[in-house]
């Protein structure tokens, strides 16, 4: 089986945009498969010669940012089972939010290795959030622009040791 990479983060940080960029045209096939849930989407990703299964999650969507109901935690927990590495995506333009910090605490308790991705990092508007994200405790963030396809080689290098 292919190694599995799971995308985690609060709503609107660009998780699905990253998923779509990694999966490309194969997305349509994925959507036709049975068993695709609203909360998780699976795709076959290709990144500079790396092949892996990519999982888009929506476990923290539609929730009050002040609280994380157990149901949503459980869904993320289920999605983390069997993942070889988690891509924890933050929005470099928006900077860190309490929900980012909550998700970070959650991921620090997990045994799954985490690669921190600072998305929306194109241009200078993302600089502050990029530096701020060091505080999450996952080491160097990978600056990325999922929308513009920038930083994909750095993402490859960060994933390589885990796959």
Per CB under 6 A, 24 contacts ligand GDP: no
Q: Pick from 4, 6, 15, 99 the residue near ligand GDP by CB under 6 A.
A: 15
Please tell me whether residue 16 binds Mg ion under the rule CB under 5 A. yes
Q: Is 97 near ligand GDP (CB under 6 A)? A: no
List the one residue from 106, 147, 152, 154 that touches ligand GDP (CB under 6 A): 147
Q: Which stretch binds Mg ion (CB under 5 A): 9-17, 41-49, 119-127, 150-158?
A: 9-17
Euclidean distance between CA atoms 132 and 3, whole angstroms: 30
Site stretch for Mg ion (CB under 5 A), options 8-16, 36-44, 78-86, 122-130: 8-16
Residue 57 annotated as binding site: yes
Quote helix, strand, coil % in the chain, to nearest 5: 40, 25, 35
CA distances from 149 to 17, 19, 42, 152, 163 (A): 10, 12, 20, 6, 21
Instruction: Kindly list the residues in this chain that would bind ligand GDP in the complex (CB under 6 A).
Output: 9, 11-17, 119-120, 122, 145-148
């Amino acid at each position: 089986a292919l190694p599995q990479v799971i995308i985690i983060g609060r709503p609107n940080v660009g998780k699905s945009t990253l998923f779509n960029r990694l999966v490309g045209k194969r997305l349509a096939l994925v959507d036709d498969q049975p068993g695709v849930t609203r909360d998780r989407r699976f795709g076959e990703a290709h990144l500079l010669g790396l092949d892996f299964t990519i999982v888009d999650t929506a476990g923290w969507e539609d929730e009050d940012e002040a609280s994380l109901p157990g149901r949503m935690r459980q869904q993320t927990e289920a999605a983390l089972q069997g993942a070889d590495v988690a891509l924890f995506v933050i929005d470099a333009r928006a900077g860190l939010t309490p929900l980012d910090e909550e998700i970070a605490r959650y991921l620090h308790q997990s045994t799954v290795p985490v690669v921190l991705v600072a998305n929306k990092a194109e241009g200078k508007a993302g600089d502050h959030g990029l530096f701020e994200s060091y505080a999450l405790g996952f080491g160097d963030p990978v600056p990325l622009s999922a929308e513009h396809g920038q930083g994909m080689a750095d993402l490859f290098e960060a994933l390589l040791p885990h796959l």
